[in-house]
Structure 1
Amino acid sequence: MQQDEKNKKYKILEPFFKKEKKLREIERETQISYATLKRWVSQYKDSGEKGLAKKIRADKNTFKKVNDDALDHLKTLYKEYHTLPITKLYEKAKKTLNSYNSMISYPTFFRIINNLDENIKLNSIKSVKKNQVYEYAIIQKVVPIPFFNNKNKIFYLTIFYNKENYKMINFIFEEKKRELKNLFNFIRESIIIEGAYPKNISLDFKIDGVSKNLLRSIYFETKINILQEEPDENMLGFVRYIDTDILKEFNKEKMITLEKICIFIKKYLFIEINEEKK
């Protein structure tokens, strides 16, 4: 079985090794994500065909079914520590579940917490169609506004857009610069607005708080590859002058609100204005 797995992966990568195709072409043909293909190439370079063999988890089949006592314990634990990140909560749960003669995997734990957490339910992306998958990107730009209520202000414009057709999906315009973990709700909202499940999301290098562990955790929970890449030149050109255009639009107003600027940005980015959200 492992030999078949190795042969299958190598056959997929063979045109790349022979310099006949690029990984992006193979991605389009096979629907295997670019990140996965890059990982296979790295594994092959490190260990040859052995590196392409599917690794069996050491903890496979070691998790028992959650019994009622353990489930009650998890509910109590969640009620007390619901503000913790789910990964931290899982670490805390693992330390106490042994006494209930039960141990569960992270995916099972995540599903249990998902059922307990109304916030996760309300922001669920289960309704999004997964038969349409696209490439998306997030770009971030510093926007200085020297006349904002007679003060020099620095804002951050974060845009979620479709890389294939440059359709603007969603944006945030605010004074505080957000790290990746603080963009999760923005990403979830953007996916729901678009109505299509992302295969990959490219991140601007200006976005802080990105780590390999966090990206792995996101993929494990959502099957979405988040990659750090240089922003698209066409998109950079489009947003390069937005601060100048904001200045031209509002420099004669003595008092300007953040709401007015956001409405202007929506029009600027060709994003439909939802009257209910204003």
Structure 2
Amino acid sequence: MTSLSLSLARGTLTSPFKRAGRPGATLPARHEVLPAHRIAPGPLAAYREVCGFSGTSTLPLTYPHVLGFPLAMRLMTARDFPLPVLGLVHTWIEITAHRETRPTDELELIVYAAGLNPHRRGTEVTMVTEARIAGELVWESRSGYLARHRTETGARSAPSGAADRTAPSSPPGLPAVAEWRLPTDLGRRYGAASGDRNPIHLHPLTARLFGFPRHIAHGMWTVARCLAEAGHGPGGTSGIRSVRADFRAPVLLPSTVTYATEGTAFEVRGGERVHLTGTVTRSD
């Protein structure tokens, strides 16, 4: 958590000197690594509580991403990273568990930048996080982060190595399953559990500095809460092997949103506005 706070501070200082969309920009080739370690039970318990995970001995599918996020921030705020971290928008995430992981597992985390792609609204970078146990790849995530700037190509984004794929879309009018009332302190509670204390999530005043009318919920909290809700069905969360989520619009705090799902698809919406869409894959 300390390194994440330092990275946020460094990003504030380095961002004004970077220009998204610069021709010939390249990504750093290095990997950030956190050696194999035991997971601290206190933060994990707080994370489970704020996201709604319960009744399982497995690690929440989203939690290795949280553990690896300080490494991603260290990389994205480095001097040789081509995009300014201030203003980067998390646009999508794909997570795959190759096998179940447990809180007692000693995870080695590896984070690297896999691709820099043109997007109709700017430039999108794909960040990869891997979790390994004794060298075996047991879990991985890929995330898209968008730096907005003027473009002339109108290109659509594509995850690195998957240019022929399009983001999954949920069928219109998914049936509502649950209603969530999100309190004004949700961002601070999730920030305390995850270490992600980005000012846009903490308070209306700090969020307004970045152009938001009020503070907003963490996107990764929204994904985790959806998985926790999906885990109430047959198989629980331990039966979910992968998820793809696309962030459509920020969730202002406080607010009331609806979780809707049918089959493998899910979405979070507030009134007619869709905030997040996604799909899950369960094990056979």
TM-score range, shorter chain: under 0.3
Scaled by the length of structure 2, the TM-score of the pair is 0.26
| Greater helix proportion | 1
Scaled by the length of structure 1, the TM-score of the pair is 0.27
| Greater strand proportion | 2
